[in-house]
A and B are shown apart, each in its own frame.
Chain A
Amino acid sequence: MKTLADLKKIREKAQEDMKLRGGNVRIKISVGMGTSGIAMGAREVMKTFLEEIAARNLSDVLVTQTGEKGLSSMEPVVDLIEEGKPKVTYGNMNPDKVKKVVVEHIVNGRIVSDYVVATGD
């Protein structure tokens, strides 16, 4: 390493590896992982999110999990929380729907209204 620019490159990569510990997060995805969620495939849904995000190198998106949300008939349920915007809740998710949500909503900023079951808090 010889210049500040070299250091900056290393820093950016290292920050990417540490993004779970806070920092630059634009969108937070919160997957409902209650018993019914898991039974309906929430773990698959979360994995697909993680894979898609890693594949597209979306460094400002964070995937977390939460407990039962009370929408058992629509599991798996996923919240997309974006700074300064109302929360969007998607229901009846599966890996294919996840891929679409990642492309449409997260990358292009267009809510996939077909899958939305609720908005706001």
Chain B
Amino acid sequence: MSLKHIDLLICCGSGCISAGALKIKERFHEVLKEHKATNEVNIIETGCMGPCDYGPVMVIYPEGIFYKHVTPEDVEEIVSEHFIKGRPVTRLMLQEEEKTFAAQKDVPFYQKQIKVALENCGYINPESLDEYIATGGYEALGTVLTEMKPQAVIDEMKASGLRGRGGGGFPTYIKWQMVHDNKADQKYIICNADEGDPGAFMDRSILEGDPHRILEGMMIGAYAMGASMGFFYIRAEYPLAIKRIKMAIAQAKEMGLMGDNIFDSDFSFDAEVRTGAGAFVCGEETALIHSIEGERGNPTPKPPYPAIQGLWGKPTVVNNVETFGNIPTIFRKGAKWFASMGTEKSPGTKVFALTGDVKNTGLVEVPMGTTLRELIFDVGGGMIGDHKFKAVQLGGPSGGCLTVEHLDTGVDYESLKERGSMMGSGGVIVMNEEKCMVNVAKFFMDFCVEESCGKCSPCRIGLKQMLEILERITSGFGREGDIEELQRLGESISKLSLCGLGQTAPNPVLSTIRYFRDEYEAHIRDRSCATKVCKDLMHFQIDKDRCIGCSLCARNCPVKCITGSRDEKYIIHQVDCIKCGNCYDVCPVKAIDKEPGMHPDTVAHRAELSKAVNRYEDL
């Protein structure tokens, strides 16, 4: 007999786990034991609930009470007050502007979100097949297998308008149709979970939070195109996602939802997990296929498209995790329902991983066409502190940045492309006015140079050239014509590279030049970084009037470039300064300022050096 009257859902997404969610779970077990109340509470580990910044978070049903920033020390109070006496702990609830948000559904973070792919994420126990079934799971698969012909499934997908959520936005039904029409003795379906963009964690969260959904989506696709074997290509950096998918496959097999003649139909299906070794390029479908085959993960030219000649030469479809995540719901609620959300050309919703200088970092799902303003300021809660919004980078190293003037742009595949950015997989990095855009472009270029597989020369050599120019600009050696050279290189690399990595890698540089050209010009002409991020283009200065002559700065300087005395006060010898910032940190009276621009002494010193080099070369 069940006496359980409370469901305690603890978010065990990666964010909350690193903030200590597992320790809190252990503590709940201990405290409930002490109170002899273990038979009254279900403790359930869920996937990511979304608002990672509030982590560790938990939701307590039946009331749906939402607690944030919970620590193991709070557990005693939650049990004795809330569980035993029914008095929810107000101080752990979200409080903003003197308002308390007790229930999860009232929390502003969730207000503009519509959850489709994330429907169950943070609501069910991802390791329980029963809970997935309770939310309507595998109903779509059952209906599809017993009542629909493969072509009808593809037609339904066409009506839904679902486009690939991995970034390209290619209509999913076209891929399926191509493989369906292609006669072969063996066809394959692959789930691309090689999510590698810096700051992106959508696919991981869905796999960790609702693995059966992805499996069901894959099986519906497999039935439509006639594939009997599927592969999950998941990067090795996602151990929990790998564990959960393997567990889901085992559970589905045991229940008879996978294997031979599923739902008494002619359809048989099996799936396996393959782990990627962490190469960014393996997110490209041909490289991914070669990696599964056991070859080096290098892309090959298309055509032949994988739909014609894919894995081991057989027709293959590669779909992204989130794409699969939408499919069960499309078949349960109908293509019309799905197409009614979002914009005309980009129906449905999109999951974004919101990071950077925004208050509510986390995992969000909003309808396509939601404006950046709503995404960043309503869902994201605006900027941290008193900082101003400067730019947002969408699509990671393949995407581009957008600025204040684009805040009212609706987010969909076309609108972003027009403005020099792209949807990408859904990473959204928000930046405030303290970020140097040249430096941001350099960061992403550095990433792409590292991750280039080296097969084609535009990407291997061209990106390296771009990086060297950016390094030159940020270290004060920029020349007239560098900006034009970056644009020329970027445009040719985009046109000439073999795969998506090279084709999109120049985007961050090109888009920052497009919207922040003045910053590049200031770096090159004035040798000045207004945000004081580029160390060569800023300097530290001691204000003599404020300096008390305590000598702390001089004693903490690792290169001994600060001299002076109590009477004369202290000065920094700019030529030797390595800009470590120690003096700035230790000064007890804050007499040291960060100034933009290269110090005149350094400029003169560099000029002398280059003169000497020229003289030497003349000899």
Contact = CB atoms under 8 A, between A and B. Distances in A.
Given A33-B84, A33-B86, A63-B5, 12 more contacts: A1-B256, A2-B256, A4-B146, A11-B134, A13-B130, A14-B133, A18-B124, A18-B131, A21-B61, A28-B62, A34-B85, A64-B62
A64 B5 contact: yes
Interface in B488-518: none
Max chain A C-beta neighbours (<10 A), residue from B1, B63, B134:
B134
B131 A4 contact: no
Interface in B1-53: 1-7, 9, 42
**Top 9 nearest A-B pairs by Cβ distance?**
A65-B86, A14-B134, A33-B86, A14-B130, A20-B7, A67-B87, A1-B256, A4-B142, A15-B134
A33 B263 contact: no
Contacts of A64: 5, 62-63, 86
Interface in B577-591: none
A18 B134 contact: yes
B130 A10 contact: yes
15 contacts: A1-B255, A1-B257, A1-B263, A2-B263, A4-B143, A13-B130, A18-B124, A18-B131, A20-B61, A22-B61, A31-B86, A47-B3, A50-B2, A54-B3, A67-B85
Contacts of A2: 256, 263-264
B337 to A, nearest CB: 20
Interface size class of B (residues with CB under 8 A): 20 to 34
A3 B263 contact: yes
A51 B133 CA distance: 26
A66 B88 CA distance: 9
B133 A10 contact: yes
Interface in A36-86: 38, 43, 46-47, 50-51, 54-55, 62-67
Interface string B319-336: 000000000000000000
Contacts of B9: 21
B86 A67 contact: yes
B332 to A, nearest CB: 12
B136 interface: yes
B4 to A, nearest CB: 7
B66 interface: no
Contacts of A20: 4-7, 42, 61-62
A13 B128 CA distance: 13
Given A14-B133, A35-B85, A65 B61 contact: no
Nearest to A68: B87
B482 interface: no
Contacts of B263: 1-4
B199 interface: no
Interface of B: 1-7, 9, 42, 61-64, 84-87, 123-124, 130-131, 133-134, 136, 138-139, 142-143, 146, 255-257, 263-264
Contacts of A13: 130
A17 interface: yes
A3 B63 CA distance: 35
Given A4-B263, A34-B85, A62 B62 contact: yes
Interface size class of A (residues with CB under 8 A): 35 or more
A17 B1 contact: no
A53 to B, nearest CB: 9
Max chain A C-beta neighbours (<10 A), residue from B2, B64, B123:
B2
Nearest to A32: B86
A61 B63 CA distance: 14
Interface of A: 1-4, 7, 10-11, 13-15, 17-18, 20-22, 28, 31-35, 38, 43, 46-47, 50-51, 54-55, 62-67
A32 B84 CA distance: 11
B86 A66 contact: yes
Given A34-B85, A54-B1, A67-B85, A21 B7 contact: yes
Contacts of B86: 31-33, 64-67
Contacts of B7: 18, 20-21
A117 B142 CA distance: 51
Given A3-B263, A4-B263, A65 B133 contact: no
Contacts of A55: 1
Contacts of B87: 33-34, 67
A36 B270 CA distance: 59
A33 B82 CA distance: 10
B50 to A, nearest CB: 17
A66 to B, nearest CB: 5
A54 B39 CA distance: 14
B195 to A, nearest CB: 29
Contacts of A67: 85-87
A39 to B, nearest CB: 11
Contacts of A14: 130-131, 133-134
Nearest to A64: B62
Nearest to A28: B62
A17 B85 contact: no
Contact of B138 (A7, A43, A46, A47): A7
A10 B136 CA distance: 10
Nearest to A55: B1
A1 B261 CA distance: 11
Contacts of B130: 10, 13-14, 17
A59 B512 CA distance: 59
Contacts of A17: 130-131, 134
B85 A33 contact: yes
A77 B146 CA distance: 52
Given A33-B87, A54-B1, A21 B123 contact: yes
A98 B134 CA distance: 30
Contacts of A50: 2-3, 5
A58 to B, nearest CB: 12
Contacts of A65: 5, 85-86
B62 A51 contact: no
B391 to A, nearest CB: 40
Contacts of B42: 20
B83 to A, nearest CB: 8
A4 B139 contact: yes
A51 B4 CA distance: 10
Nearest to B60: A20
A94 B484 CA distance: 85
Nearest to B81: A67
A41 B540 CA distance: 70
Contacts of B142: 3-4, 7
A63 to B, nearest CB: 5
Nearest to B139: A7
